Structure 1
Amino acid sequence: MKAVLCKAYGPPESLVVEDIASPTPGPGEVVISVKAASVNFPDVLIIENKYQVKPPLPFSPGSELAGIVKAVGDGVTAFTVGDRVMAITGYGAFAEEVKTEAGRTLPIPAGMDFATAAAFGLTYATSEHALVDRGALKSGETLLVLGAAGGVGLAAIEIGRILGARVIACASTDDKLAVCRAHGADETIDYATGDLRERIKGLTSGNGPDVICDPVGGPYTEPALRSIAWRGRLLVVGFAAGEIPRIPLNLTLLKGCSIVGVFWGEFTRREPQRFAESMARLGRWYTEGR
């Protein structure tokens, strides 16, 4: 079979396509014939050796996929050959056939095509885990989303609205903010202009947001945190800006707030039952057209 391989760390142009052996499932594993695989920001980081997960060279990147079960290993009862499934791989999805853990493999919701299923997990499930499990976002609260025009950001807007929150979306251009509004944002802020903290305060009657979803880091985290409501929750989802911010810890004391880490990939491994419940909930929302 063919696979995209990272044989030396570098940009996407350094990847190669080669023939490798087809995988065989071990106990608790399934082999999937891949129909679609998505490209996410961690895929770029991992091939440049800038991600927290560092597989040995050579490896195939690709963190999630969708396809049809080709074979199952011993002990696998949830799937049979021919099932339509989606899977979280961490890496390895950019191949014609992929071996995955059965616990990180899920049935594709009814009516969802392979391309949508392949791009569903990392963005929507990360945001759902962040807002529901880590942020405990409640109906009537205010959610601020940084990097809101990205995949995780747009998913956070949609899920925030489903949960009954008022959503303020932050992005860097008018075009991006228009996309945020199309996905349901109640208010938008161009954080490339003006004082971010003051603009957030102005949209929240001085109270600040109850929950901040931050997948970007960089220069926007601290001013957003300085605007947060009493007992607010800052969700650290990632650092797409390429800079890990340094936060004055006295802000947590002054605001009575929490800074909460969101490592969705590790969550799927450590809490497979809750991961399955999360994906089932997202699947229901999808089939309901929400």
Structure 2
Amino acid sequence: MKTGFSQEIQTWEKGQLHARRDHLAEEAPLELIIDHCDGQHWHRQNIAVTMRTPGEDRALALGFLFTETVIQSYADVEALEERLETSRQRVIVRLKDAVRVDVQKLTRHVFTNSSCGVCSQVSLDQVQKHCPVHPEMHGQVDPAILRTLPDQMRAAQKEFGRTGGLHASGLFQPDGRLLLLSEDVGRHNALDKLIGHAMRQGLLPLRDRILLLSGRASFELIQKAALAGIPFVAALGAPSSLASELAQSLGMTLIGFLRESSFNIYCGSQRVLLGSSSDIP
């Protein structure tokens, strides 16, 4: 990941103005392009432009295509190419010739978001079609483990430590070991990058794993986690109502406001080892 850049700023503190240099998280556009075959002809399609933190662009492209259900696995990809043209960064993903893409459906979905006015029930139904099986997890997670996750993720966020301006998604084992972490100015991009890395390593579906989100838990993030097979999602912030409804309908565990001394369980409490003697301050 690039380290961004710095600039001279002025800081007001206790009635005094001070000049200092501040590090900023880099944000730049990335074009995601697919080469796909309709059975007779090959087509090149620009499917999205996302504002992201440069770096891990191939993982971002893979995660995005997976969570948009364009591809089912890394085996659907023939080639990945990064290209810089006149200061415009692109990732071109060439799909296997047997992979069929509904371009109209894809582009309509890509440009929707949580404020687009789409009916909640329609959104839930569409996700459930792609996630018919409830995520699996064996055993329970000790609250004493959960309370250590935010500090672990924070310590691993190299760029956040410099800039304070990046979201993160962290993937943990039930014993608290950090497996993967990705950062980005966009929380959706951070999760797509993480899922893309997991895909390239052959780790999907991510059963028996805990996902930690650095901010709030939105519907889109729960959707991405569910598609990746993650059964347990924790967030440092609050979940939205639709995120909680989706998690509950898919049999997931959803935790919000995760702190060292407390957290809220919105659904899936059976995966949390409640009343554990090890969870004593």
Please report the TM-score for the alignment, with normalisation by the length of structure 1: 0.31
Please report the TM-score for the alignment, with normalisation by the length of structure 2: 0.31
Relative to its length, the structure with more strand (as a share) is 2
